Structure 1
Amino acid sequence: MSKTSELRAKDVAALEKEVSDLLKAHFGLRMQKATQQLTNHTQLGNTKREIARVKTIIAEKKRAAK
């Protein structure tokens, strides 16, 4: 999990790669949940929250660039 300050230091392309990596991780966790292999269910919420955090920073950077 990245700190917000670390995310703000990255450029938009790196942040978009981070989002795609997080989406893949979230998909894997959902599949584990579906097959009842997931033991720590808080990981799902944390990953979802992290995706939202990165997307928010991307939107802020794009808005500031205009």
Structure 2
Amino acid sequence: MMQTLEHREFGAYRGLSNPIKVDNQRLSTDCGAGLGADNAAILGGELGVEDLEGLAARGII
């Protein structure tokens, strides 16, 4: 249940594969988005563009 995965910052590494099978095929395993990569998309629904720009300018996001 081990497989080689590719991490965007650290390169290839060995990790656990997904233990769940569908039609005798293991489901794919991928690395998630980098830290903060989805901040604008997630917070954009809650805050306005000006608020996001202000938080980014102050280094908060």
What TM-score do the two structures reach when normalised by structure 2?
0.25
Larger relative contact order, structure 1 or 2 (CA cutoff 8 Å, min sep 6): 1
What TM-score do the two structures reach when normalised by structure 1?
0.24
